[in-house]
Amino acid sequence: MNELLFENEKKIINEKWKDEWKNMPEFIQEKQEPFAKIIIRFDNQDALNDFANLINQKLTNKTKSIWHPFKSHWGAEKKVYVNES
């Protein structure tokens, strides 16, 4: 019996967002594809640091990808919805 109660509550919560988003503008974000991609391998931390300084970007041994010139992974500009009415 308790399982059914929680299952119904979960369904209500999962459907509630639809009420909040009525009449909201559609948001479409197009995926940016790079012009080219390369893989660069470094023998050691010093080589990685030298390259990071050369291109003036922060790189660590955990960095998987970057844009050059620098582009924030959150987008070059922050886009917000403004109601002009």
Tens digits of per-residue pLDDT, 36-75? 999 999 999 999 999 999 999 999 999 999 988 888 766 5
Half-sphere exposure in the Cβ direction for 10 (13 Å, CA): 6
Residue 52 lies in a domain: yes
Number of domains in the chain: 1
Calpha distance 17→11 (Å, rounded): 11
- Closest Cα to residue 37, out of 72, 67, 17? 67
Residue 73 lies in a domain: yes
Residue 46 lies in a domain: yes
Range of the domain at 69: 25-85
Calpha distance 26→33 (Å, rounded): 22
Q: What is the pLDDT of residues 25-38, one digit of tens each?
A: 888 888 878 899 99
Q: What is the pTM of this model?
A: 0.50
What is the reported pLDDT for 85? 72
